[in-house]
Amino acid sequence: MRKKKNSSTVVVLSLLAMIIVGVVYLFNSETFEQKAPQIVIENGSYWNLKTPLKLKMQDTSGIQEYRVVIQTSKGQKELTASKLVTPSKEITLEVQSPRSAYAVKDKEVKIIVEARDASKWNFGNGNLARKEFSFTVDKHRPQVSVVANSYKISKGGSAVVVFKAKDENLDKVYIKTNFGKVFHVTPFYKDGYYIALLAWPVQEKNFRADIFVSDLAGNSVKAYVPLYLKNRSYKVSYLKISDKFLKGKIADLASMFDETAGVDDPIEQFKIINETVRAKNEKLIHEITSKVPTQRVDSFKIHRMYPLKNAKVVASFGDHRIYYYKGQRISESYHMGLDLASKAMADIRPQNGGKVVFADFNGLYGNMPIIHHGLGLYTLYGHCSSLLVSQGDEVRPKQVIARTGKSGYAMGDHLHFGVLVQGIEVRPQEWMDKRWIKLNVTKVIKLAKDMIDKDQ
């Protein structure tokens, strides 16, 4: 009798356990999930009533149906709605505004989104989510106009532009070229005005720059920077590589770099050093010199650059060097600075002060300080024998920052002098020319300030 009672108890407990397990399973399964769908609109809080709204809905059991409505002072209007045959766990939509959007005079509208999932919870009715999004309506494009700019830009050279950009909800302001380079701009002199230095890379056949301005609502406008283009030819050098060079300088450099570890072939060592290592070194330089301050500036004074007294030019800027070994072309590179030489371990004295943003060894460039002079204008000093400044130092005009040498990829004591504008190497000769600076930078900025003062 007792055994029968025990057996009954076990059966009841087993059934109860199964029921509990079943209930727990149902409560935790997707079929009976209890969370309402998630609804997100990614456009922010401003809308121009033209740009589609990016709507995203997610749910564990899947979205079964949704409805999107716009609410204005004139009432509500359905923008889109759907009842899905097969529920979807994630739906992304671009919701278009109604055709009558141009007639909307409201300064604020609401978008109401309702989404129901495919859960069997709530007696099979699923979970309903309803979310309201408020948008400030802005249908006006920003205003942009060029105030002053350099008359021309040469291939491999620089230019400056000052312009006005105005909008109540201003968002992005930048300059973009035909080859995809984005130049950052700096607030200038008074509210609503900006300044930027531009650069035309040696490797690019053509140049065009447009100012792009957009607001928080997605309205945008662009303005062309009217620069006269002056083409300039650069030297092409065909250089023969000797075995002596490979077994000497290249072998020494190969022992320094990880990239050539385990490589015994001298030609392959040269190719790796001239291409892979060079690219790595230049990438660092471009990253460092691409930064532009965002604080407003009232002026930009720059003196002619001549960092090495009584120096002779021993290698030109923009030289396209093509290397041959026993009649076969094996590699190429561009020389993106001006090589100057005077005496061994000569003092390097920049004519312009600034902040040292790098002072260390950089592969082929050897010991190399870089100074920022403002507006994204940088100067670089390669192959130094010793560095007399550290990163973060503020240097004075004509202060000795280093001494010439032959560290890195240098055959003799000299200075590799580079000038960069927002990460692009430009002709040092322009910035070494007092007249060029006056006509293309100083006068342009003075004219811009005069025009701005008259506009106030």
Burial 7-23 (b: 16+ CB within 10 A, else e): eeeeeeeeeeeeeeeee
- Residue 97's pLDDT band (cuts 50, 70, 90): confident
- Out of 22-31, 202-211, 307-316, which region has the weakest mean confidence (pLDDT)? 22-31
Does residue 25 carry a pLDDT above 60?
A: no
Over residues 124-143, mean pLDDT: 94
* Per-domain boundaries in the chain: 32-137, 143-232+444-455, 236-422
Say which CATH class 236-422 falls into: mainly beta
Does residue 18 carry a pLDDT above 80?
A: no
Whose CA is closest to 141, among 168, 181, 177? 168
Over residues 343-364, mean pLDDT: 97
Residue range 244-284, pLDDT digits in tens? 999 999 999 999 999 999 999 999 999 999 999 999 999 99
Does residue 23 carry a pLDDT above 70?
A: no
Phi, psi of 206 (to 5 degrees): -135, 170
Over residues 72-83, mean pLDDT: 93
- Do the strands 377-382 and 367-374 form a parallel or antiparallel pair, or are they unpaired? antiparallel
Phi, psi of 52 (to 5 degrees): -60, 145
**Is there a common fold for 32-137 and 236-422?**
no
Of the options 2.60.40.10, 2.130.10.10, 3.50.50.60, 3.40.50.1860, the CATH number for the domain spanning 32-137: 2.60.40.10
Eight-state DSSP code of residue 225: -
325 Rama sector, left if φ>0, alpha if ψ -120 to 50, beta otherwise: beta
Cα-based angle 399, 362, 198 (whole degrees, multiple of 5): 70
Residue range 392-442, pLDDT digits in tens? 999 999 999 999 999 999 999 999 999 999 999 999 999 999 999 999 999
Is-contact 395 354, C-beta < 8 A? yes
Phi, psi of 395 (to 5 degrees): -105, 150
The CA–CA distances, whole Å, from 182 to 169, 211, 288, 455 equal 22, 10, 16, 28
How high is the pLDDT of residue 122?
A: 86
Amino acid identity for residue 51 in this structure:
T
How high is the pLDDT of residue 376?
A: 98
Residue range 183-197, pLDDT digits in tens? 999 999 999 999 999
- DSSP secondary structure string for all residues of 256-279: T-GGGTT---HHHHHHIIIIIIHH
How high is the pLDDT of residue 57?
A: 96
- Out of 97-101, 362-366, 383-387, which region has the weakest mean confidence (pLDDT)? 97-101
Q: Model's pTM, two decimal places?
A: 0.88
143-232+444-455 folds as Immunoglobulin-like (2.60.40)
Please give the residue that has the higher pLDDT: either 320 or 4.
320
How high is the pLDDT of residue 99?
A: 83
Cα–Cα distance, 237 to 156 (Å, whole number): 18
Average pLDDT, the chain: 93
- Do the strands 143-149 and 402-403 form a parallel or antiparallel pair, or are they unpaired? unpaired
Does residue 230 carry a pLDDT above 60?
A: yes
- Residue 456's pLDDT band (cuts 50, 70, 90): confident
Is-contact 133 110, C-beta < 8 A? yes
